[in-house]
């Protein structure tokens, strides 16, 4: 299969490129290709892929509150361009969204059919992109995930490891709950989804087990065998620029469940620390 992966240099894109190795891959990323440029339609027609995977996006949640133009371009304009191009060449599109499209006020978590209600500008751009996609094309796998970490990109796990090196206590919020997800596990699940060829629509692909960022940080420190204290604080004390949902647990009701987050984390850390 000829597959175009946009954003192949990033954390998720690089994992997807690795997992889909063996297929005929067309790999796009900045600065060579800007998928938000109007010329993208002609470039897509020229390549004529059988499947397009969009792993691009503006993911700086706090910075999005002030860099609204950049966030809109990365999360809305780009998506609209790709959707129009995919519709033109009749190619299915895999696109990734986030648990931050929800407000976190629903107890028990969110199924795929839950209505988005974002509380940050980042969340609003991702929710708007979902609307645009559904209007522009029918052939879409809209995948929501959460707490993504892995090689080749900034993420919570690596940030905790770096801060822990100083030996100073770590203060981490304990009133925000999600399902942290390993990029490699997500990429593998995407390949399985594509190969199964189920009906198009929205899918929640996350490592299983809901956990607070504080509990997640504690496990990172424990598995990495680091001697540093991790202290719980509230979101109010942390004072982030963007508001986060209190409980954005995504419920996977359609696909085989991914492995528990603790197993995935142990795998990632073992790989990472063995190369250190």
Q: What is the CATH number of the domain that holds 24?
A: 3.40.50.720
Would you state the pLDDT for residue 199? 94
Please tell me which residue, 34 or 190, carries the higher pLDDT value: 190
Domain presence at residue 190: yes
Domain presence at residue 276: no
Q: Report the pLDDT averaged over residues 21-45.
A: 93
Domain presence at residue 141: yes
Q: C-alpha dihedral over 264, 14, 255, 252, to 10 degrees? A: 60
Residue pLDDT, tens place only, 142-178: 999 999 999 999 999 999 999 998 999 999 999 999 9
Domain presence at residue 95: yes
Domain presence at residue 90: yes
Determine phi and psi for 100, rounding to 5 degrees. -75, 5
Would you state the pLDDT for residue 38? 86
Alpha carbon distance 20, 52 (integer Å): 12
Domain presence at residue 259: no
> 125 is in which domain, residue-wise?
2-153+181-207
Mean pLDDT across the chain, nearest whole number? 96
Q: What's the Rg (C-alpha) of the chain? A: 18
Alpha carbon distance 199, 220 (integer Å): 37
Domain presence at residue 143: yes
b/e per residue, 69-88, with b = 16+ CB within 10 A?
eebbebbbbbbbbbbebbbe
Residue pLDDT, tens place only, 231-241: 999 999 999 99
Domain presence at residue 253: no
Catalytically active residues are 122
Q: Residue 198: pLDDT band by 50, 70, 90 thresholds? A: confident
Alpha carbon distance 95, 83 (integer Å): 10
Whether 276 shows a pLDDT value over 80: the answer reads no
Would you state the pLDDT for residue 68? 98
Domain tally, the chain: 1
């Amino acid at each position: 299969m000829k597959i175009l992966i946009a954003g192949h240099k990033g954390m998720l894109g690089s994992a997807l490129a690795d997992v889909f190795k063996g297929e005929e891959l067309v790999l796009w990323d900045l600065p060579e290709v800007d998928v938000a440029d109007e010329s993208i339609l002609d470039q897509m027609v020229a390549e004529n892929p059988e499947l397009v995977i969009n792993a691009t996006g503006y993911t700086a949640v706090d910075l999005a509150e002030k860099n609204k133009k950049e966030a809109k371009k990365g999360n809305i304009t780009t998506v609209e361009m790709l959707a129009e191009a995919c519709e033109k060449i009749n190619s299915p599109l895999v696109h990734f969204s986030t648990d931050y499209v929800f407000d976190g006020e629903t107890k028990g978590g969110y199924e795929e059919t839950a209505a988005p209600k974002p509380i940050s500008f980042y969340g609003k751009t991702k929710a708007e992109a979902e609307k645009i996609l559904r209007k522009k094309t029918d052939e879409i796998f809209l995948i929501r995930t959460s707490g993504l970490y892995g090689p080749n990109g900034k993420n919570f796990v690596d940030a905790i490891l770096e801060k822990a090196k100083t030996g100073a206590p770590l203060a981490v919020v304990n009133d925000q709950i999600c399902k942290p997800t390993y990029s490699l596990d997500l990429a593998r699940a995407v390949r399985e989804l594509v190969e199964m060829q189920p009906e198009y629509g929205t899918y929640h692909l996350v490592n299983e087990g809901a956990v607070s960022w504080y509990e997640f940080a504690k496990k990172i420190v424990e598995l990495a065998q680091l001697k540093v204290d991790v202290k719980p604080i509230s979101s109010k004390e942390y004072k982030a620029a963007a508001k986060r949902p209190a409980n954005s647990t995504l419920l996977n009701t359609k696909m085989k469940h991914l492995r528990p987050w603790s197993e995935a984390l142990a795998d990632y850390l073992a790989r990472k620390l063995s190369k250190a």
